[in-house]
A and B are shown apart, each in its own frame.
Chain A
Amino acid sequence: MSHPHPTREALQQEAAVRLATLQGKALSSRDRMAIPSQDMPSQSPDARRANMGEVALGYTAEQARLEALRCLQCKNAPCIDGCPVRIDIPAFVKAMAEGRDAEAIAIIRRNSLLPSVCGRVCPQEVQCQERCTVGKVLKSVDKAVSIGRLERYAADLERESGDFRLPPVKPETGKRVAVIGSGPASITVAADVRREGHAVTLFEAFHKPGGVLIYGIPEFRLPKTIVQQEIETLQAMGVELKTNFLVGRTRKLQDLIDKDGFDAVFVGTGAGLPKFMNIEGENLVGVFSANEYLTRANLMRAYDTGRADTPIFKSRKVAVLGGGNVAMDSARMAVRLGAQEVHLVYRRTEAEMPARVEEVGHAKEEGVLFHMLQNPCRILGNDFGLVTGMECLRYTLGEPDDSGRRRPVEIPGSEFVMEVDTVIVAIGNESNPLIRQTTPGLAVNRRGNLVVAPETGKTSIDRIYAGGDIVLGAATVILAMGEGRKAAASINALLATPVA
C-alpha cells in the first residue's frame, strides 16, 4: 500500500470539519449518503507488527456522530433482521446521531450483554451490515453504516466513563443454577439467571474465565481487560466463580444435580477439540493446533518471554492452514512473535474464506502472505523430527458442496514443496467429548454436538440446558450469546414454576 497510514488525529480533524458543515441542517437521504463512511483509526501496520496492543483504536466522537448520521432510519429496518439478537439498530444509531450516547447504549443493552465484545468481533459484513440499505444503494457492503463500530463506540464510552450501573438483581429465590464454561454463552446465562434472583455458580476448566474470548482471540483484537470487566460485573451481581473445575472429571454433570443440589445446569463448554488433517508428518515437532499456539500466546502469555514460564516455539517460516478467524489470529500472532515469513494456506479462494473481512485486510497489511487454492498433503521433517516443509497440492473449485461453497478439487500431479519450520493447523474445532462421555443419556448428533430443543435449549436430560458452540459447532460470539439468552429464559421459567 502506497498511501500513508492515516493517524487517528487526521481522521478526527477531517470528521470535525465535515461535521461542522452539517451542523443544524435538516439532512435528506441524499445528504446522508454523501457522508463518506468513516475509516476505523488503527495502529500503523509497521508499529503493530511489533506489539500486542489493539489494532483498531475506535472512532473519535466526531467520527461516531458522522457515521451515525449516515443511517437513513429505514422504516422496515432490514439491519435488525441481520442481527442474531435483534438489537434495535435504527433507534440506537439515531440516539448517537443526536448525541444521546447514554441512551444509545441502553438501547443496545436491552438485547445484547456484550456490546464491547460484539462490536469488535461480530462478522458484521454478513450480519447487520450486509442488509443495510445504505450499503445496498452504494453497491458495497463496505459502505454500509458501520453498525458494529458504533456499537463498540457506545459501549467503550460507557465503560470508560465508569457510568455503568449493575443490572438489578431480584431478591434471592433460594434456587441454584450451575453454569459450565465461562465463554459468551455462559456469561449471558449467568447474568440473565442471576437477575431473577437465583444463585449462580460458574464452573470453568481453565484458571481464568472468559472462554475463547480469553484463550483464543488475541489481545490485539480484543483487549482482555474488557472480558475481565464483564466477569467482574457478574461477580458484583453475586455470581460465584469456580475456576480449575472440569465438569466430567472434577465432578460429573449429573452429580451437580444429584449430589450437589443444583436445580438446573447450563452447559456452555464450547467447541474445544482441535481438528487435524490426518496427514503424514502431522505429529512432527513444529506442528501445532491453532488452539495450542494461541493458548500458549494469549492465556499463558508466552509472548512475554521475560516473565512467562510457558515457552513458545521459535519460528522463522510459518505456514497457517485455514481461512477462518482462527487462522487469521494465528497468522497475525506469528507475525508478532517474530516470524520472518508467515504464509496463510487455504484450499479455496479468498471469496470463500469465513474470516471477518477486516481481519483479512489487517493480516495482509501486516505482511501475511496468502496462498489460495493450495493444501498440504504431507508434512516433511528431518532426522530430529523437526518440520522442514510441506508437500502441497494445487486445487481448483468444483461444484458447490452442502455448505453451499464451491468444493475444492485437487489437481493431480501439481505437487510442490513449501519450506517452513512451523505449521499451525487452523481448520476448525469440534466439540470436546468429555461431557458426553461422562454423562449417560445425554443426546448428541453425529458431529458430537449436544442436541437441544430449538425453542428452549433443553437437552435430553431434565434440568440440563445447553447452548453456544457445544450445540452449534464452532460458530460466533453473538450466536453463542443469543443461545444463552434463550436457555436462560427457559431456566428462569423452569425455576419460576413451583414444584408440583
Chain B
Amino acid sequence: MHKILSKEQLSDDVFLLRVEAALIAEERQPGQFVIVQVDNQFGERIPLTIADADPREGSITLVFQTVGKTTHKLADKPVGDSIESILGPLGRPTHIERFGTVVAVGGGIGVAPLYPIVQGMKKAGNKLIVIMGARNKSLIILEDRMRALADELIVCTDDGSHGRKCLVTEPLKELCGRSPKPDLCVAIGPPIMMKFCAETTRPFALRTLVSLNTIMVDGTGMCGGCRVTVGGETKFVCVDGPEFDGHLVDFDNMMRRLRAYKTHEEAAHHQCHLDSDLSRLRKEGHS
C-alpha cells in the first residue's frame, strides 16, 4: 500500500501525485519508471515515469495525463487514500555525463518524464536548452520548474496561445543549425513528436535519445508486450529501454502496436488523425 501524500492538478487532464514509496525513492535514477496498479484484483498495470523523488521523505512523484480507465481512477483518488501496488524503479537509467550542450524537448505530458533527466544533466554540468510544446497554453505543465533549471527555455503551442506558435521541431531545427551545434538531444512526448524530432536531427547527425511509452504488462522483461524494433532488432522497452537512439526506432510499428487494443474501427479512425498530423507536419516542411 502506498499512501498518497499530495495531489495537484497541473492542467485540465494532467495530475501530479506524491506517494509513499521509500525503497523506490532511494534507488531510482533519472529515466526510470514504475508500474502502478490501483487494485490487485481487477486493476490494470500501467507504467508511469518517476518524475521526482524525495529519499528523505520516502516519496516519489508521478505526473500523468488522464487517458483511460486506470489514469482516471488514479486522478479520482483523494489525498490520504492509497495505491495498492507500485513496482520499481524499472528500466535502465538515463546515461548521464557531461556532454556539453543538451537540447531537451518535451511534448505535452512528456515534460514530466523529461524533468528528472534535465535535473540529472544539469547536475552533471551540461548546458541545457529546453523546448516545451503543447497544443495550447492550458496544456503546458511544469513550466516554472523547467525554467528554474534551463539555461534557455523555449515554449511553443500549436495555436500560439503561449510562447511561439509552432511545433517543437521548428526551434529544434534552428538549434541544430547553430554553431557549435548541440551535443545531444533528448526528446520525450507523443510518439509522433519523437518521430519527427528524430527526423529533424537526423540530417545534422545530432544524437537523439527518445523515451518510448509502449503498452506494458509486467515491466520486467517477461511478456514481450512492450517490444519495439530498434535498428532492425527486437528490443523490450521495459528492460532494454525505455530510452533508445531515436534515429534507429521504428516509430510506425510502435504507434500501431500502441493501438492494439482499440477496436479495428477505432484503429482506422485513429489512422485518419495520424494521417492528418503527418500531413500537417509535412506541410510545415519536416519530412
User: Which residues of A does B touch, CB under 8 Å?
Assistant: 205-208, 243-246, 249-251, 272-274, 276, 278, 282-286, 288-289, 291-292, 295-296, 300-301, 304, 307-311, 313-314, 384-386, 432-434
In Å, the complex CA distance between A385 and B220 comes to 26
Segment among B149-157, B184-192, B224-232 that sits at the interface with chain A: B224-232
Q: Can you name 15 A-B residue pairings with CB atoms under 8 Å?
A: A206-B218, A250-B24, A273-B222, A274-B222, A283-B250, A284-B256, A291-B222, A292-B223, A309-B43, A309-B70, A313-B261, A314-B263, A384-B271, A385-B253, A385-B256
The one of B86, B252, B268 in contact with A244, judged by C-beta atoms closer than 8 angstroms, is B86
CB neighbours (8 Å) of B261 from chain A are 311, 313
In Å, the complex CA distance between A244 and B85 comes to 7
CB neighbours (8 Å) of A310 from chain B are 44-45, 217
Question: Which interface class (under 10, 10 to 19, 20 to 34, 35 or more) fits B?
Answer: 35 or more
CB neighbours (8 Å) of A307 from chain B are 42
Identify the closest chain B residue to A242 (Cβ): B23
**Residue contact A434 to B221, C-beta cutoff 8 Å:** yes
In Å, the complex CA distance between A467 and B228 comes to 32
Identify the closest chain A residue to B259 (Cβ): A285
State whether the Cβ of B234 lies closer than 8 Å to any Cβ in chain A: yes
**Residue contact B27 to A292, C-beta cutoff 8 Å:** no
User: Which residues of B does A touch, CB under 8 Å?
Assistant: 23-24, 27, 37, 40-45, 69-70, 84-90, 217-218, 220-225, 227-229, 234, 239, 250, 252-253, 256-257, 259-261, 263-264, 267-268, 271
Tell me whether chain B's interface is mostly helix, strand or loop, or mixed: mixed
CB neighbours (8 Å) of A206 from chain B are 218
Tell me whether chain A's interface is mostly helix, strand or loop, or mixed: loop
CB neighbours (8 Å) of B41 from chain A are 301
**Residue contact A292 to B225, C-beta cutoff 8 Å:** yes
Given A208-B40, A309-B42, residue A274 in contact with residue B224 (CB < 8 A): yes
In Å, the complex CA distance between A208 and B88 comes to 15
**Residue contact A283 to B257, C-beta cutoff 8 Å:** yes
Identify the closest chain B residue to A309 (Cβ): B44
Identify the closest chain A residue to B89 (Cβ): A249
In Å, the complex CA distance between A284 and B260 comes to 9
Given A207-B85, A285-B257, residue A308 in contact with residue B220 (CB < 8 A): no
The one of A208, A245, A301, A432 in contact with B222, judged by C-beta atoms closer than 8 angstroms, is A432
**Residue contact B218 to A433, C-beta cutoff 8 Å:** no
CB neighbours (8 Å) of A207 from chain B are 37, 40, 45, 84-85, 87
The one of B89, B217, B234, B271 in contact with A250, judged by C-beta atoms closer than 8 angstroms, is B89
**Residue contact A249 to B88, C-beta cutoff 8 Å:** yes
Kindly provide the distance from the CB of A273 to the nearest chain B CB, expressed in whole angstroms.
6
In Å, the complex CA distance between A259 and B90 comes to 20
Given A243-B85, A384-B271, residue A272 in contact with residue B222 (CB < 8 A): yes
Kindly provide the distance from the CB of A207 to the nearest chain B CB, expressed in whole angstroms.
4
Identify the closest chain A residue to B2 (Cβ): A244
CB neighbours (8 Å) of A289 from chain B are 223-225
Given A283-B257, A285-B260, A385-B257, residue A433 in contact with residue B27 (CB < 8 A): no
CB neighbours (8 Å) of B42 from chain A are 301, 304, 307-309
**Residue contact A295 to B220, C-beta cutoff 8 Å:** no
**Residue contact A309 to B24, C-beta cutoff 8 Å:** no
**Residue contact B260 to A313, C-beta cutoff 8 Å:** yes
Given A283-B257, A385-B257, residue A296 in contact with residue B234 (CB < 8 A): no
In Å, the complex CA distance between A307 and B40 comes to 12
